Every structure is written in structure tokens, then in C-alpha cells.
Amino acid sequence: MKKEMTSIKQTRLNSILDEATKLLIEKPNASMNEIAESANIGIATLHRYVESREQLMVYLGLRAIEVVNQAMQNIQLDEENCEKYIPELIEALIPLGDKIYFLTHDATIHYNPEIEGADLKLREPILHVVGLLQQKGYFRQNVDKNWIVDVLYSILFLTWQQVISGDIARKSAAALVVDTFYHGFVAK
């Protein structure tokens, strides 16, 4: 869907999209003028990159998928020791909480076939691991895998918010998420 751009223009667009994501999480109804201001560019410059708010939202969804996918590429799956995948995934994705939030909560991107297809492809390895973990008894088998992944995404976003606000130390965040994801709030 994105038109071909030089690498410099693509880098600039990615910077604009990253700033727009941050703003839209805080203020979902932000205007195009506010988005341009947040990215430290003029509205005319923003419109050189995106023609409309709808196109911006599609680009934001594709950017979120791209960034999350890049992070996931560094995580190797060993099916025999699949329980190691989720902690590595959590460690890689906590800094991307804003992107994950956007993917799971922005209704405007859920009706775009390109984004839906890319998101399904992005979720495939996580769903596969969740299925393996269900077989090994880590998760109940009667719980839908998509529900489990959605819960993980929600915990990742909340953790990202808490790290950004200073309520959770960055170094302890991944361990807290892993423990919460696997054990909930049950007393030990």
C-alpha cells in the first residue's frame, strides 16, 4: 500500500509515524495539525507523506507490524524448549508497547485487509508457541489461543505504560510480565 520512497524519505516517514503513534495513544482524536506539530513538521510536510487521516492510520498499522516483526525475527523457536520463547518475546516487545497497543486497539485499522493479513501472519509464531505450551500444560487447553495472545498484548502495553511513567523499573519489567502471564496474581 505504501508508495515507493527513497530510504531517506522512508526513514523520515517512519519517524513521523512513530511520533504520531505516541500522540494518538495519548489523544486518539488528535487532528492532523496536532500530529504534524508532534512530529515537529508543518502540516504541508505531513500531507506530502500521507494524503489523509485514513491513509495515516493504515501507514501506522503497517509500521507497527513492521517494527514488531523486526523484533520478533531475533527470537528463535526451539520447540523442545518452547517455554523460553515467551520470556524472550516479552523482553523484546515491552519497548514496543505503543505499537502493540495501536495494533490491538485502533478500530480503524481492523477493516483493512492488508493490515489484517499482516497481523495474522505476525501472530502465527506466537499462536504456535501458545499451542505448544497448552500441550505441555502451561496454559489450559480449553482457552482460545487468540485470547491468550490478546491478554499477552494487553499486559505488554500496560507494562510499557508503567515503565514510561516510572512505576515499574525497566530491568524488572520482563520478569513481572512473565510471572503475571503464567501465574496471574495467585499468592505463592
Its pTM stands at 0.79
C-alpha cell of residue 182: 503464567
Instruction: Give the C-alpha separation, 134 to 143, whole Å.
Output: 9
- pLDDT at position 147, please? 95
- Taking only the tens place, the pLDDT of each residue in 43-93 is 999 999 999 988 998 898 888 889 999 999 999 999 999 999 999 999 999
- Taking only the tens place, the pLDDT of each residue in 74-86 is 999 999 999 999 9
- Taking only the tens place, the pLDDT of each residue in 5-39 is 788 888 999 999 999 988 988 888 899 999 999 99
- pLDDT at position 131, please? 97
Among candidate residues 170, 160, 102, 92, the one with its CA nearest the CA of residue 126: 92
Instruction: Give the C-alpha separation, 99 to 93, whole Å.
Output: 9
Instruction: Give the C-alpha separation, 176 to 85, whole Å.
Output: 16
Instruction: Give the C-alpha separation, 15 to 29, whole Å.
Output: 20
Average pLDDT, the chain: 89
